[in-house]
Structure 1
């Protein structure tokens, strides 16, 4: 279930809009399984994911000098922290369409922070936490140790365009190796407010998505991306 952690920063307004951009295959997997995929933190493309800034590393070195097992424990922890990434934005993002969907056959889930919290209540195996990502200068800025998910809520400033908010969970208590990630139970109807179709998609693709929703007995609002609206002259 979702657990509120006062040390993790999230928007105060539960109606704050969030997005998840994905291909149709991943979307169908979400609907058919009623489960949301969370990736292992050390499997992300960003090689700095879950690592330390330089000022933090200097402190880590002093800690590990007296406690050599600390770094080994931390490396193992990276394999046990699972993450689901969402985009925090009132509007669609052209960049997110480009990065997270292939060709012109992707879609975006529009949700809210409150809906995400409600949807996560369906999970009973592992606890989930939600936090905003902080973008810092890794050469100059310090990553604090004040929560259990340090440093998985920090990224380099060059990733600021992601405006990321994350669902995080620690699966170390499961006592088994996790390869790529885990799937957690979610309430699909609570999670999804609207579905937006890729701005470059053709009409047949929107009809296909609508037919799939009907056959799967979902009644989400389906919109064509606002980025492809008619030009007014």
Structure 2
């Protein structure tokens, strides 16, 4: 089930705006399945995902001298944790459009921290948390390891532009084997506050998205990104 963890931090304001940038196929999958896809933590492009910083690793190695399984446990745990990433920003991000969409097509889901918390449905045998990512120097700074979720809430400083909030699902208590990831139950109407269409998309693309959403009986507000609004001079 979704749990509160005093060690995992979030912005104080539940109305803090978050975004998810994705292509149309992933958006349709979300609407049709009413489930949110989460990637297995060790399948991300960043090879450091779910690992420890150097100072923490050195400490864990010392503890693992008499207990080799201690270190191995953390490696295996990466295969048990799935992540859904969201971007904190009051406004749309031009950089996020560039990174996560292609061919001038794609969408951005606008939500809030509070909506994410309400949207996540309880899952039997899964521990689920929502937390804000900390960006640190992996050569110098320490990641606590007294909480199994901490490695997944730290990233290198070079990723600070992501300003990431994560939904985390730990499947360790179940027999489920994750391949690329898993889908979790969500309340779609809570999850999605508004949809923005790619700023450089054609009009037919916006009409297509509107029609698809209407046919699936969702009532989201849909807007064309205002990053390409008319010049006033």
TM class, shorter-chain normalised?
over 0.9
Aligned to 1:206: 206
Structure 2, unaligned runs of 5 or more = none
Q: Is the 8 A contact 2:125 2:173 kept in 1?
A: no
Instruction: Write the mapping of 1:155-170 to structure 2, written as runs, cut at 5 A.
Output: 155-170=155-170
Q: Distance in 2 between matches of 1:152 and 1:85?
A: 11
Number of matched pairs: 233
Q: Distance in 1 between matches of 2:106 and 2:26?
A: 10
Instruction: Write the mapping of 1:122-137 to structure 2, written as runs, cut at 5 A.
Output: 123-124=123-124, 126-137=126-137
Aligned to 1:145, the other structure's residue is in SS state coil
Q: Distance in 2 between matches of 1:11 and 1:220?
A: 25
Aligned to 2:19: 19
Q: Is the 8 A contact 1:130 1:166 kept in 2?
A: yes
Q: CA deviation at 1:94?
A: 0.8
**Does 2:108 match 1:115?**
no
Instruction: Write the mapping of 1:174-189 to structure 2, written as runs, cut at 5 A.
Output: 174-189=174-189
Q: Distance in 1 between matches of 2:124 and 2:27?
A: 22
Q: Is the 8 A contact 1:123 1:186 kept in 2?
A: no
Aligned to 1:49: 49
Aligned to 2:39: 39
Aligned to 1:196: 196
Q: Distance in 2 between matches of 1:90 and 1:125?
A: 35
In structure 2, relative to structure 1, the CA distance for the partners of 1:187 and 1:123 (3 Å cut) is farther
Aligned to 1:167, the other structure's residue is in SS state strand
TM-score, length-scaled by structure 2: 0.97
Aligned to 2:118, the other structure's residue is in SS state helix
- Pairwise CA RMSD: 1.1
Q: Distance in 1 between matches of 2:149 and 2:127?
A: 13
Tell me whether 55-64 or 189-198 shows the greater mean CA deviation.
Answer: 55-64
